[in-house]
Structure 1
Amino acid sequence: MKRPPRPAKPARNASPTPAAPLSGKPARKPELEPLQAPLALHARVPGSDPLTLTATEWVLTNSLGGFAMGTAGGIPTRRYHALLASDTPESSRRRVMLSALVERLVIRTVGGEDEIHDLSTFRFAGDNGAGVVHPAGHTRLVRFEKDVCARWIFRAGPVEVVKEALIPRRTRSVLVRYTVRTLRGAVAEARLELRPLVAMRDYHSLLRASGNEARFAVQADEKNTTSKVRVAADGVTLSLSTDKGEFRPSAEWWNNFFYAVERDRGQDCVEDLFVPGVFSVDLAVRKAPLSIVFHATADPREGAGSFSQELEHKQTDAQELAAAVVARATAASDAEREQLAALAVASDDFVVRTHKPVTVAGETGGEGESRVPDKASSIIAGYPWFTDWGRDTMISLPGLLLETGRYAEALSALRRFAGARRNGIIPNRFTDVGAEHEGHAGATGMGEPEYNTIDASLWFIIAACRYLEASRDSGGFQQHLLPACLDVVDHYRRGTDFGIGMDPTDFLIAGGSPTTQLTWMDARRDGICFTPRHGKPVEISALWHTGLRLLAGTLSTTDQLRAADLRSLADAVASSFRTSFYNSELGCCFDVISRDDNGRWRGVPEIRPNQLFAVSLPHSPLLPIQQAAVVRTVREKLLTPVGVRTLSPDSPGYRPYFQGSLLELDAAYHNGTVWPWLLGSYAEAVARTGNFTTEAITEAKGALLPIIRKLDAECVGQIAEVFDAEPRHDQPQHSGGCPAQAWSVAETLRVYAMLLRPL
């Protein structure tokens, strides 16, 4: 399915209002070169045990927050594995609409005998705890592939069947194409049978037949020339069709599907699914390929479209996106260009459009109101269960949108969060309506914003200034972003919600209480805060310092008085930071400064990775010798091949493995568990402390390479949220959390691209 790359077009969302960059140099758009390598094709071949392919996951997305997701071996292992998980025209809440298809090929030989070849495989609950595998489609699977679609190649006797799943961009649909041809011998005729396994339930929950016997209403479309059926439940509709054959209604339930990963997480793990009937397609099988296309949509207004055209559109979009990134990496080798291209393609999965306008506070920070434009852009924090979070969006935006030249979408996302700020605080997240799982909401939420964050607003300032530097869009920045940035500064200086505010005695930022979790280390369950960081967290004042200096730079020609005030404040912050945070005995920074029982501020001597931001951000408050010491300590205590530990193994609360129940997972989440996104800051800190010499850049790139190789590992084409802090039984560190995480990809892409550009 690989096609020769076509010449790249200019970036799709170039800023309409170019202006001089922060450096004062004239703006110049890079000339995009044709991509020199084809897009990555991830492949798996079954070994002696075909069931091992269930350890490899894949995900396809629709740019609206919806997705298809499953395993290379075809057996669903999570409640989120589905051919179509999407919102609907009636609700922004994501639902698993179509879980899977039960696929069977019936071959009639020239001798008149029927051979039954099942192509699908599931695991059903059994007494042995591991479940019962049935039917045996996995024994006919010879190869799995993933590029812009997911592809399975089966051998069913003398017949080859190629199954391809594709999610068209900005639709609530999935297309599944079956291409059938004979490889040898003679086949008199054949029949492909497809039984849809329908769920139509909230994607965090599970469905049981008991109590839902009359939930589904099935209506076949007898007037349509193609077989088509609609299934309705709870006010939403799922439309199913094939371009050939017929649909035969035969409503039934298939019971006790077993999801192994849910069991391992201590969650309910058994589900029943509804089958409305069977699509049956008679085939005249020959050596020439014959194709059948199945279409499912959560929006009955959407037609099936052409699979070939949709596939070509996805390939073209991916190649253009990759070319936009690769073109600037003029110091990259061919292998490095391929790695950048793979990261660029991965980045697109997280960029989404919301569906409804939001009425928010005026962009000037006053009492007026404005409307964030319809279909505003945002960033999904991770698949399958995260929504769009403020912190994750601001950290991910430079990598996902600025490195890829998607400036209009970057501005839209920044405006979306800036417009929804309250008392100088950017929303922590937009909730989905009603759906909760592991404390996280679903979909590109249009529910109420939540504001329990101390760092999202500071990351917003940095993302906004990086937008200006990358896009040269001074008009958009000054009109839509600068007022919000200054509003954040003003509120943080005088104090705002959750006790967030500048301590007037040392100019550092404090916030929170023993019962709140305001930083990114926010795990909390059953009233337990597993990583209490109330007080003055180290990265918050580092972000505060850099934000002040960046804003002063943007105001240097338009408001010199305000710029001087911000620079003076930044100087005071830097001085206090060195005095309060740097621990000369340990050669690193305190992670947080908290009040003791007598009300005095004292540093917490835990070695955590948050101090990296005091070195990696554009303006460090530390002295060069202190910066080098921080990097050295992180390298010795926290660095692993696939990420940075969240706590030193020397600490009493260190947890080496991310495993167990939800309570155990939350306890380990930031107490040792490795996070790949921190590798970006570590690599940047290495490069900065080494003055970007050849040796420093080589070391920084080397730190990123193992996680880049993970693009062809657990979830092909993506990078996971977290990993174990230690290997298990001489095996590589096991991944956990979301199989596809936005900032894992974004920070790797941003820093790797920076290292591959000439200085």
Structure 2
Amino acid sequence: MGYIKFDKTQLINLEYSLNKELIRSNRAGSFSSTTIIGCNTRKYHGLLICPQPQLDGENHVLLSKIDETVIQREAEFNIGINKYTGAFSPKGHKYIRDFSSDIIPKITFRVGGVILTKEMMMVKHQERVMIKYTLVEAQSPTKLRIKPFLAFRNIHILSKQNIDLNTKYEAVPNGIMVKMYEGYSPLFIQLSKKGGEYVHVPDWYKNIEYIQEQNRGYDFQEDLYVPGFFEIDIKKGESIIFSAATKEIKPLSLAKEYEKEVEARIPRNNFHNCLVNSAEQFISKNNGSIDIIAGFPWYGRVGRFTFISLPGLTLSIDKQKDFVEVIDSMIKEMRGPLFSETGKNQFTTYNSVDTSLWFIWALQQYEKHGGKKAEIWTKYGKVIKSILDGYSGNHIPGIAIDENGMIYTSKEMSGYTWMNCQTEGICVTPRYGYVVELNALWYNAICFAIELAKTANESEFVQKWSETTKKISSAFKNVFWVNSQNCLADFVADGTQNTDIRPNQVIAASVHFSPIDDATKQKVIDVCYKQLLTPRGLRTLSPKDPKFRGICKGNAIERSCSMHQGTVWPWLLEHFTQGYFNLYKESALQLIEPLYNGFEETINERGIGTMSEIHEGDPPHNACGAISFAPSVAALLRVNDMIESFKRKSKRKATSNKKDK
């Protein structure tokens, strides 16, 4: 039995199978996403979703889905499935025998004496999805009918029947080219086998429903365009490949291309390999730049999450080259001391107070993984200096350095930390003034910069910033320490400490250069352990707080009000783990290793083979948010890194002790 596998009993249970989602992406920035039975439940689902930079710089659904029909002796068996008002039609899921995904997603259908498999593959460096149909068993001549459902729309906006539709098509080898609207990339739909027939019968399939959008309080009905259908004979033992792409391909090369892609895949045959595969899916190379997609299916690039997740997604799996390329791509889009937070080019925003400090933290992890300090300073010293000078020189509106050396942000910047959810333009968890993780990162960044500058004998720089670190280290605990709760305040504004027990203080215990001593770190870790730690990461607020919300469901406002008010974020576990190992060394393995291993239970929970963005604060901590989230995957790869590192240290100690005896 495969590592990722579902049987017929699970698959025909729609309440179960419609909550299991697939995501496959490629280096070209395209992705496919649907449920394990092929019924789309989100507006973000589709078989070919790719960027349209000429339109708005966002992802667009070109090919939404395919419905297939098996034809034998003039009897038709439709193996597709769609949700309409009050009913599913057709009900092809009843023919599914099993689903597996150890290498690529594969569905096996059984229709009477017919056994047909369907495998889906995203081509690594092209905007192309390939679907391979193999007739494993058949007792009589068999035809396959393939009906493509097209959308040609932004992933956030549903399609409705309209008069702007272009119903024309062009014949291409073994297929057609269609372009629903002006300005879009063309879509080439081709088959690997000659002799098929394309029948052009353009029509709208109206009011297809997306259950997850309905649950989330959004518009959930869509009209999809079907230009026609392909019909082709398929013999027992034969495979036919369906290709949908923004560029034409020679049909004879499809089979070879498909096999080449399969051979390059890392099998998802254990937990670690699932994480490695997931990590690679967030990395997009397009138009000369390499980016980290923050999460699927709705996120694009997010600067803060790029740097938070970059070490785990690259360094933890020995992809130093990708690390450097992402860093260099991000630097190109800097504006002064600030990195892009969301969007690209003319759509870029810079609304973050901490992204630039996470950049320096990421470089610090690169140095720990073998990067040379002198080389890092030579290449990135100017950027690091511009960041430190930008924060300290009043070059960023709303950010100032106080006399104590710490960063103080204005009330207008209250939604610019990572806890930035808003409802009707108002931040749910406003945080300003002295923000705890911001100042921990600031202190760490300065100390790391000093270390780097020493390699170039830049004594003036070292002396100047050493004075600042002295100020911060003497002021930090006085500003943030809450005696009544034995932990750090979340932020201090207008002379008042915010005493909500939140996980942001754990950053002060995890960074290499910390403004607090070990005794204080121990108290911080202790309160996080007792009040925030769950099997899925750290809660964003203590359950003892009356503002705590343990469930993250409902419409956009309800979910926004929960995201940082008790919801669990797995990415924070990395920093709890680092802080815990900082204090307890090898003995920390007793707690951390079972925590890490416990995440394997979630591999088939929601996003198959990957890690969700968040989990509910209340047990059983159901997964929610984005079905695949870069910081979550990266955090677990980093936690595994730490576990393996301390295991090696423990083994060396044991060996050394034996020799001494």
TM-score, normalised with respect to structure 1: 0.81
Write the distance in 2 (CA, Å) between the matches of 1:469 and 1:685.
16
Structure 1 residue aligned with 2:631:
743
> What are the residue-to-residue correspondences of 1:516-665 with 2, within 5 Å?
516-561=414-459, 562-595=461-494, 601-665=495-559
Are residues 194 and 614 of structure 1, via their aligned partners in 2, closer, same or farther at CA, if it must alter by over 3 Å? same
Give 2:151's match in structure 1, choosing from 193, 196, 199: 199
Which is worse superposed, 385-394 or 86-95?
86-95
Structure 2 residue aligned with 1:45:
7
Question: Number of aligned pairs?
Answer: 640
Deviation at 1:477, TM superposition (A): 2.5
Write the distance in 2 (CA, Å) between the matches of 1:45 and 1:311.
26
Are residues 591 and 302 of structure 1, via their aligned partners in 2, closer, same or farther at CA, if it must alter by over 3 Å? farther
Deviations for 1:119-155, whole angstroms, at most 9, x for unmatched residues? 11111123xxxxx111121000111112442211110
Are residues 395 and 89 of structure 1, via their aligned partners in 2, closer, same or farther at CA, if it must alter by over 3 Å? closer
Structure 1 residue aligned with 2:654:
none
1:415 has 2:328 as partner: yes
Deviation at 1:515, TM superposition (A): 6.3
> What are the residue-to-residue correspondences of 1:192-591 with 2, within 5 Å?
192-209=144-161, 212-221=162-171, 224-236=172-184, 237-244=186-193, 245-283=196-234, 285-286=235-236, 289-300=237-248, 305-307=253-255, 309-318=257-266, 338-355=270-287, 375-429=288-342, 431=343, 445-472=344-371, 477-504=376-403, 506-514=404-412, 516-561=414-459, 562-591=461-490
- 2:496 aligned counterpart, secondary structure: strand
Deviation at 1:88, TM superposition (A): 4.2
Structure 2 residue aligned with 1:107:
72
Are residues 193 and 747 of structure 1, via their aligned partners in 2, closer, same or farther at CA, if it must alter by over 3 Å? same
Which is worse superposed, 400-409 or 507-516?
507-516
Write the distance in 1 (CA, Å) between the matches of 2:361 and 2:511.
9
Deviations for 1:261-285, whole angstroms, at most 9, x for unmatched residues? 00011000000101101100123x3
Counterpart contact for 2:27–2:286, Cα < 8 Å: no
Write the distance in 2 (CA, Å) between the matches of 1:267 and 1:717.
27
Are residues 89 and 249 of structure 1, via their aligned partners in 2, closer, same or farther at CA, if it must alter by over 3 Å? farther
Write the distance in 2 (CA, Å) between the matches of 1:594 and 1:225.
67
1:56 has 2:16 as partner: no
Deviation at 1:476, TM superposition (A): 5.5
Write the distance in 1 (CA, Å) between the matches of 2:77 and 2:572.
47
Deviation at 1:554, TM superposition (A): 1.3
Are residues 476 and 300 of structure 1, via their aligned partners in 2, closer, same or farther at CA, if it must alter by over 3 Å? farther
Counterpart contact for 2:115–2:135, Cα < 8 Å: yes
Write the distance in 2 (CA, Å) between the matches of 1:276 and 1:419.
42
Write the distance in 2 (CA, Å) between the matches of 1:179 and 1:602.
67
Give 1:177's match in structure 2, choosing from 123, 132, 145: 132
Give 2:48's match in structure 1, choosing from 75, 84, 87: 84
Which is worse superposed, 291-300 or 310-319?
310-319
Counterpart contact for 1:538–1:590, Cα < 8 Å: yes
> Which structure shows the higher helix fraction?
2
Write the distance in 2 (CA, Å) between the matches of 1:301 and 1:72.
28
Write the distance in 1 (CA, Å) between the matches of 2:442 and 2:7.
50
Structure 2 residue aligned with 1:724:
616
- 1:615 aligned counterpart, secondary structure: helix
- 1:672 aligned counterpart, secondary structure: coil
Deviation at 1:85, TM superposition (A): 0.5
Write the distance in 2 (CA, Å) between the matches of 1:225 and 1:741.
39
Are residues 90 and 425 of structure 1, via their aligned partners in 2, closer, same or farther at CA, if it must alter by over 3 Å? closer
Write the distance in 2 (CA, Å) between the matches of 1:687 and 1:616.
9
Are residues 302 and 180 of structure 1, via their aligned partners in 2, closer, same or farther at CA, if it must alter by over 3 Å? closer
The residue type paired with residue 5 of structure 2 is A
Give 2:95's match in structure 1, choosing from 137, 140, 159: 140
Deviation at 1:547, TM superposition (A): 1.1
Deviation at 1:253, TM superposition (A): 1.0
Structure 1 portions without partners, runs of 5+ = 3-39, 109-113, 127-131, 323-334, 356-374, 432-444, 596-600
Write the distance in 1 (CA, Å) between the matches of 2:422 and 2:53.
34
- 2:201 aligned counterpart, secondary structure: strand
Deviations for 1:184-233, whole angstroms, at most 9, x for unmatched residues? xx31x111001100101111110111xx1451233141xx5523343342
Deviation at 1:548, TM superposition (A): 1.3
Counterpart contact for 2:191–2:251, Cα < 8 Å: no
- 1:217 aligned counterpart, secondary structure: coil
Deviation at 1:64, TM superposition (A): 2.6
Counterpart contact for 1:525–1:666, Cα < 8 Å: yes
Counterpart contact for 1:148–1:311, Cα < 8 Å: no
Deviation at 1:304, TM superposition (A): 8.2
1:122 has 2:56 as partner: no
Deviations for 1:166-188, whole angstroms, at most 9, x for unmatched residues? 000121110011001226xx31x
Deviation at 1:259, TM superposition (A): 0.4
Deviation at 1:301, TM superposition (A): 6.9
Deviation at 1:525, TM superposition (A): 2.6
Write the distance in 2 (CA, Å) between the matches of 1:457 and 1:395.
11
- 2:214 aligned counterpart, secondary structure: helix
Percent of residue pairs identical: 26
Are residues 712 and 304 of structure 1, via their aligned partners in 2, closer, same or farther at CA, if it must alter by over 3 Å? farther
Counterpart contact for 1:452–1:518, Cα < 8 Å: yes
Write the distance in 1 (CA, Å) between the matches of 2:316 and 2:409.
33
- 1:272 aligned counterpart, secondary structure: strand
The residue type paired with residue 637 of structure 2 is L
The residue type paired with residue 547 of structure 1 is A
> What are the residue-to-residue correspondences of 1:634-713 with 2, within 5 Å?
634-690=528-584, 692-693=585-586, 695-713=587-605
The residue type paired with residue 160 of structure 1 is I
Structure 2 portions without partners, runs of 5+ = 650-661
Deviation at 1:300, TM superposition (A): 4.2
Write the distance in 2 (CA, Å) between the matches of 1:191 and 1:650.
62
Counterpart contact for 2:174–2:251, Cα < 8 Å: no
Deviations for 1:360-409, whole angstroms, at most 9, x for unmatched residues? xxxxxxxxxxxxxxx12110000111111110001111111122222222
- 1:271 aligned counterpart, secondary structure: strand
- 1:345 aligned counterpart, secondary structure: helix
- 1:149 aligned counterpart, secondary structure: coil
Write the distance in 2 (CA, Å) between the matches of 1:103 and 1:482.
57
Write the distance in 2 (CA, Å) between the matches of 1:702 and 1:629.
22
Write the distance in 2 (CA, Å) between the matches of 1:696 and 1:564.
37
Deviations for 1:71-107, whole angstroms, at most 9, x for unmatched residues? 0122111001111101247444311000101110011
Write the distance in 1 (CA, Å) between the matches of 2:252 and 2:450.
53
Deviations for 1:702-759, whole angstroms, at most 9, x for unmatched residues? 22222243223211111011111113xxxx3222111000000011111211221223
Counterpart contact for 1:46–1:53, Cα < 8 Å: no
- 1:256 aligned counterpart, secondary structure: strand
Deviation at 1:315, TM superposition (A): 4.3
